[in-house]
Chains A and B, each alone.
Chain A
């Protein structure tokens, strides 16, 4: 496996369900991100983990809970979601050295539908 892998690709869940999205990067990067992509809106940064520590929360509702057990894996735990949370959830990774960015590598995303 190479790059950034996200599972599942598609997820349909009820508003009372609990589910988790998984992301794995095989690039040796030291930072990982969750983005939300909704139609006709900019990519919304949700969470950032750098060196396995969360560095930005970005006012995301508490029904979204991230977890980064190591530098290669990132999870997004979901519970009691709302229909407006339906979107494509993208995971990305990058190598950050000091204050220098080197661009992100994105996964293919999880298409989430809340019913």
Chain B
């Protein structure tokens, strides 16, 4: 089955800097790649997603890029703010009902 690896496990940046989190997946048939943000005491929340027919997608300060050939995708957060501090999860899916998650990245934005 699909295996998703995520790096780094922890990331600390200064407020205003950019943060990048990278994920690789094993099954070339995967076609849907969402990113989730989990704040303390809450469940993961979908923040952005990308499908395999698209190379990049942006939503304000957040962007996701996908390299199908290399089987990796990345989350980019620009102009980070303290409220961006959370655990971020990447995921990959081949078809409905089979979402597999990375182990998570704990992002800390220092004011």
How distant is B93 from chain A, measured CB to nearest CB, in Å? 5
The reply to whether B96 and A99 form a contact with Cβ atoms under 8 Å apart is yes
Query: Does A96 make an interface contact (CB < 8 A)?
Result: yes
Query: For residues 26 through 66 of chain B, which have their beta carbon under 8 Å from a beta carbon of chain A?
Result: 32, 34, 36, 41-46, 49
Within 8 Å CB of B101, what residues of A? 42-43
Q: Which one, A13-21, A61-69, A71-79, A106-114, is touching chain B?
A: A106-114
Within 8 Å CB of B32, what residues of A? 100-101
Query: For residues 68 through 111 of chain B, which have their beta carbon under 8 Å from a beta carbon of chain A?
Result: 89, 93, 95-104
The reply to whether A55 and B99 form a contact with Cβ atoms under 8 Å apart is no
Complex: chain A residue closest to B32, CB-CB: A101
The reply to whether B103 and A101 form a contact with Cβ atoms under 8 Å apart is no
Tally of contact residues, A, Cβ under 8 A: 29
Known contacts A90-B44, A108-B41: does B34 contact A103 (CB below 8 Å)? yes
Complex: chain A residue closest to B97, CB-CB: A48
A30 to B44 alpha-carbon distance, docked (Å): 19
Partner of A56, one of B49, B93, B97: B97
Partner of A97, one of B44, B96, B100: B96
The reply to whether A103 and B46 form a contact with Cβ atoms under 8 Å apart is yes
A99 to B9 alpha-carbon distance, docked (Å): 31
Known contacts A42-B103, A42-B104, A90-B44: does B49 contact A103 (CB below 8 Å)? yes
Known contacts A42-B104, A43-B101: does B43 contact A107 (CB below 8 Å)? yes
